[in-house]
Structure 1
Amino acid sequence: MIIERAYASGGGREDGEWPWTLPCVREFLAEGLRFTAPVTFLVGENGSGKSTLVEALAEGFGLDSWGGSHDWRYASHRPRSVLGERLRFDAAPRGRSMLSSWSARKGFFLRAETALDALDREGFAPDSVSHGEGFLAAFRGKFHQPGLYVMDEPEAALSFTSCLELLGHVDQLVKAGGQVVCATHSPLLTALPGADIIEVGEHGMRRATWDELALVDHWRRYLTDPHSYLRHILDQDVSPGSAG
Structure 2
Amino acid sequence: MGEFQESHYIRGLKLDRSYISSFDDYPFHLPSIKTLDELSFHPNVTFFIGENGMGKSTLLEAIAIASGFNPEGGSFNFNFSTYDSHSPLEKYIKLIKGIERPRDGFFLRAETFYNVASNIEELDCEPGAGPRIIDSFGGLSLHQQSHGESFWATFLNRFRGNGIYLLDEPEAALSPLRQLSMLSQIHELVRRGSQFIIATHSPIIMSYPHSKIIELSEEGAKETLLEETNHFSIMKQFFDDKDRMLHHLLNT
**Partners of 1:225 and 1:106 in 2: CA distance:** 45
| 2:48 aligned residue | 42
CA drift at 1:77 = 6.4
| 1:7 aligned residue | 14
Change (3 A) 1:77 1:45: closer
Q: Establish whether residue 114 from structure 1 lines up as the match of residue 115 from structure 2.
A: no
**Partners of 1:219 and 1:79 in 2: CA distance:** 33
2:51 aligned counterpart, secondary structure: coil
Q: 1:87 aligns with which of 83, 93, 107?
A: 93
> Can you list the C-alpha shifts for 1:146-172, whole angstroms capped at 9, x where unaligned?
232111100011111111111122112
Q: CA RMSD in A?
A: 2.0
Q: Establish whether residue 140 from structure 1 lines up as the match of residue 156 from structure 2.
A: yes
1:88 aligned counterpart, secondary structure: strand
Q: 2:34 aligns with which of 16, 26, 39?
A: 26
> Can you list the C-alpha shifts for 1:66-120, whole angstroms capped at 9, x where unaligned?
121111135446265220122221111223xx6xxxxxx7421111111132133
Using structure 2 for the length normalisation, give the TM-score.
Answer: 0.82
Q: 1:210 aligns with which of 200, 221, 226?
A: 226
Change (3 A) 1:94 1:127: same
AA matched with 1:88: K
CA drift at 1:179 = 1.1
**Partners of 1:76 and 1:34 in 2: CA distance:** 32
Where structure 1 has 5 or more consecutive residues not aligned to the other structure, the ranges are: 99-104, 238-244
Percent sequence identity over aligned pairs: 34
Give runs of aligned pairs for residues 57-206 of structure 1, distance below 5 A: 57-73=63-79, 75-76=81-82, 78=84, 81-95=87-101, 106-123=104-121, 124=134, 125-206=141-222
**Aligned length, in residue pairs:** 226
2:64 aligned counterpart, secondary structure: helix
AA matched with 2:9: I
Change (3 A) 1:229 1:14: farther
**Partners of 1:92 and 1:109 in 2: CA distance:** 19
Where structure 2 has 5 or more consecutive residues not aligned to the other structure, the ranges are: 1-7, 122-133, 135-140
CA drift at 1:195 = 1.2
**Partners of 1:206 and 1:36 in 2: CA distance:** 14
CA contact (8 A) 1:146 1:178 kept: yes
1:211 aligned counterpart, secondary structure: helix
AA matched with 1:7: K
Deviates more, 1:74-83 or 1:220-229: 74-83
**Partners of 1:118 and 1:106 in 2: CA distance:** 17
CA contact (8 A) 1:198 1:208 kept: yes
